Amino acid sequence: MKDYQTKRRKQAKTIRQFRKLHRLLGVSLFAFFAVMSITGLLLGWKANSGGTIIPNTQKGSTTVLEEWLPLSELKTIAQSTLVEKVDQNLSAEISRIDARPSKGILKFTFENHYWEIQLDGKTGKVLSVGRRNSDLIEDIHDGSIVDKSLGFKGKPFKLFYTSLIGLSLLGFVISGFWLWFGPKLMRKQR
């Protein structure tokens, strides 16, 4: 009987420790989890936002790549469009070119800001000039906004932040499991 009571006290103590860990993680990381969940929801809905979170992908005049203008010419058109239609003070340095052959378009994104220019691959016609709010939301979601704001190289805050959140979520899963399973185990042992 004494072994049973000792074992039961030990199990109860373990459950209390997991409850304490669960509560501590929840209270100390509440703001981070709120930011991660809200930005995660927004990113999940970006393609269905009607162009609010990310500009809708347009359609070009042809999907035949051989008919497209040279990339260097399309790049020049995108850069001059940014300067003329958005802001001449923004960096026109290209960050990424997203070619969509099945849509007949190219999307040009730029360094240090969140604007996008979509061009028809064949004609070079500007199909869309839009702000990529999704890129800003993603930078907030993964913490790289802090690295960008403070000029950190190698993204140390992003690595710290994503590791902290990932390990904390793992802690929640483990402690939550024991908060659920521990009492069941204790009842079963009666």
Q: What are the tens digits of pLDDT across the range 28-59?
A: 889 999 999 999 999 999 999 999 999 999 99
Domain membership flag for residue 139? no
The beta strand positions in 70-136, using DSSP E, are 94-100, 105-110, 115-120, 126-131
134 burial class (0-12, 13-18, 19+ CB within 10 angstroms)? Answer: buried
In the chain, the amino acid numbered 106 is: L
How many structural domains does the chain have? Answer: 1
Domain membership flag for residue 70? yes
Q: Residue 187's pLDDT is what? A: 77
Q: Note whether 107 and 57 are within 8 A (CB).
A: yes
Q: Coil, strand, or helix at residue 54? A: coil
89 vs 28: CA distance, rounded Å: 41
Domain membership flag for residue 98? yes
Parts of the chain with a pLDDT under 50: none
Domain membership flag for residue 44? no
Domain membership flag for residue 65? yes
Domain membership flag for residue 164? no
Q: Which domain holds residue 85?
A: 55-131
Q: Name the residue among 144, 113, 112, 131 with its Cα closest to residue 35.
A: 144
pTM: 0.80
Domain membership flag for residue 153? no
Domain membership flag for residue 68? yes
